[in-house]
């Protein structure tokens, strides 16, 4: 065999691991975003450090469903949603409020951060 060095981060397994219903509740998903293939979570201090963001900078993309509207526009786990329809967001509750007040919930403008770079993407629901 070949030798391979890998980096490992040791931590506790979330209590919701392996329980999809608990995971959905823990992440506070909104049906609009689920329809677009996104699972999100608030950016905790630990996650902010892990992904090199600042706590409260936005909402973290935890999962992207394959062949979903989100995956088709290039969204990936570990990216950060900073704005929804040009409204700055810092938490899942702010994101949900912005979605609730959206003129067209089937078409959402997001500002996404990946590392040092931000870009706008438009998500269209299925």
Neighbours of 121 (CB within 10 A): 17
pTM: 0.74
Q: Is residue 2 part of a domain?
A: no
Number of domains in the chain: 1
Residue 50, H or E segment? helix 45-51
Among 5-9, 67-71, 78-82, 97-101, the minimum mean pLDDT is found in 5-9
| CATH at residue 54 | 2.30.42.10
What does DSSP assign to residue 12? P
What pLDDT is attached to residue 2?
67
What pLDDT is attached to residue 27?
44
pLDDT band at 109 (very low <50, low <70, confident <90, very high): very high
- Domain of 112 in residue numbering reads as 20-124
CA distance 15 to 82: 27
Hunting for tokens 């996650």 — which residue is that?
Answer: 47
3-state secondary structure at position 123:
strand
Residue 83, H or E segment? strand 80-84
- How confident is the model over 13-33, as pLDDT tens digits? 555 554 444 444 444 445 677
Q: Is residue 119 part of a domain?
A: yes
């Amino acid at each position: 065999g070949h030798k391979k060095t890998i980096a490992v981060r040791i931590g506790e397994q979330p209590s919701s691991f392996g329980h999809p219903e608990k995971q959905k509740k823990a992440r506070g998903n909104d049906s609009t975003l689920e329809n677009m293939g996104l699972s999100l979570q608030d950016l905790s201090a630990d996650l902010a450090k892990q992904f090199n963001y600042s706590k409260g900078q936005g909402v973290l993309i935890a999962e992207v469903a394959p062949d979903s509207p989100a995956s088709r526009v290039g969204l990936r786990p570990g990216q950060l949603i900073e704005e929804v329809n040009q409204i700055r967001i810092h938490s899942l509750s702010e994101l949900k409020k912005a979605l609730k007040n959206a003129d067209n919930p089937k078409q959402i403008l997001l500002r996404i951060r990946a590392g040092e770079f931000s870009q706008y993407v438009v998500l269209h629901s299925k």
